[in-house]
Structures are given as structure tokens and as C-alpha cells.
A and B are shown apart, each in its own frame.
Chain A
Amino acid sequence: SQQGEEDPQALSIQEGENATMNCSYKTSINNLQWYRQNSGRGLVHLILIRSNEREKHSGRLRVTLDTSKKSSSLLITASRAADTASYFCATDTGRRALTFGSGTRLQVQP
């Protein structure tokens, strides 16, 4: 079963705008990770946030985590056409295998 569920399922924005994706999960976690998947490719790790962290930054990425609401958000600032991809959240519950959500498909229009 899917542990994480992303919202929205699809998002279309103009280049330069910010993109926000949300992830909700069901059980307690050790950490939550975000991955990007370009069409026809494997997944690429973007950022990891531990359960005792509330916010983390990496370049144009900002991730927040609210363990009380069991939710996380990924913000991509100043989006580029190259950011067009599917974005997945994945939760680590301590079993050492990640459980992925269904993904948000982001389209950045040039």
C-alpha cells in the first residue's frame, strides 16, 4: 500500500514561478525523502529530512516536515523548464526500505 500520497497529482506553471508539492503519510517515520524522476529515467535523490527536523534547504529546494500532521511539502523556487519531471516523496519507517507515494507530475512551461 502507498504510505505517502502527493498532492496535487499534476501541476503546470510558468518558468520563474514557484512550485509547491505536498505529501501526506500515515505512520511514524524516521525520515522522509524527495526524489525526482525524469521521463524514462530512474529516480534521483533530492533531499532527506529527518523526523526531528522541521525545515531543510538545498539550492532552490525547500522541504518542510510536520510530524504532528504527518505531512511534508517540497518547494521549488524560480522554476526552470529543466525541472519538468515527476516528484515523489518516500518515507523511511525504520524497515530500511522506502515506501513511495504516487507522485506529482510537474510541467514547467518555458
Chain B
Amino acid sequence: EAGVAQSPRYKIIEKRQSVAFWCNPISGHATLYWYQQILGQGPKLLIQFQNNGVVDDSQLPKDRFSAERLKGVDSTLKIQPAKLEDSAVYLCASSSYRGLAYEQYFGPGTRLTVT
């Protein structure tokens, strides 16, 4: 089966500019996640969708970050305006709940550099 697709793979912008990332999860996966991974750290959850709805966005900086998942499939994550500390890899993942446990499938990520 096709994996999680993300684009672009790399993006360089200046601070205060805006940027958008796109994710296409594995077909049939109801749950979609966006993570932020700063260099040398583990991924940190930004937002979790279950179909169209938001399950958890408690760690999303809502003054500058927004995300949507139209029709319960593709998702976009936007940053406006960007700050230097937003430089990171943005990972999208999807999962299909299996019984009492699940595993997540990750895309290759988008490496964002804010100058």
C-alpha cells in the first residue's frame, strides 16, 4: 500500500512569512497527526484529527498555526507568521485503530528553515 505522502520536502522562508504543508495519509486511515520535530528532539504532537474532527490541539500554537482536514482525507498545516523557532521538521502520520493498540505510519516530513 502507498505510504503517507507529504509535500514539500524542504522549505526555506524568512521570518514573518507564511508557509503551508500538505499531507495525504494512508487510504482508509481515520486518524491523522501533525508532529513538530526540532533537531535533536523527539516528535511533539501539534494536532490530531479523527476523520474531520479535531481530537487534540492542546499543543498547537493557535496564534500562528492552523490545520484543517477537509473531507477526512488530506490535511494542511499552516504557519502565519513564521518565527525563527519554528525551524523544524514537520511530520505527518496516520493510523488505523486495531483492537486495543495501534501503530502510526509516518511520512518523510517537511524540513522548514526560517531565516
Contact = CB atoms under 8 A, between A and B. Distances in A.
Interface of A: 2, 4, 30-31, 33, 35, 40-45, 48, 50, 88, 90, 92, 95-103
A92 B61 CA distance: 23
Contacts of A95: 56
Contacts, number: 60
Given A35-B106, A41-B108, 18 more contacts: A4-B42, A30-B100, A30-B101, A42-B91, A42-B108, A43-B91, A43-B93, A45-B103, A45-B104, A88-B43, A95-B56, A97-B45, A98-B104, A100-B35, A100-B44, A102-B41, A102-B42, A103-B42
A33 B106 CA distance: 14
Interface string B82-101: 00000000010100010011
Contacts of B44: 100
B31 interface: yes
Contacts of A33: 103
Pairs of residues from A and B, 4 with the lowest C-beta to C-beta distance, nearest first: A100-B42, A42-B106, A45-B103, A43-B106
17 contacts: A2-B42, A30-B100, A30-B101, A31-B101, A33-B103, A42-B4, A43-B106, A45-B104, A95-B56, A96-B48, A96-B102, A97-B33, A97-B48, A98-B45, A98-B104, A100-B44, A102-B41
Give the one of A2, A88, A92, A97 with max B CB within 10 A: A97
A33 B104 CA distance: 10
Interface of B: 4, 31, 33, 35, 40-45, 48, 55-56, 91, 93, 97, 100-109, 111
B101 A96 contact: no
A2 B42 CA distance: 8
B42 A88 contact: yes
Nearest to A86: B42
A92 B4 contact: no
A97 B56 contact: yes
A98 B59 CA distance: 13
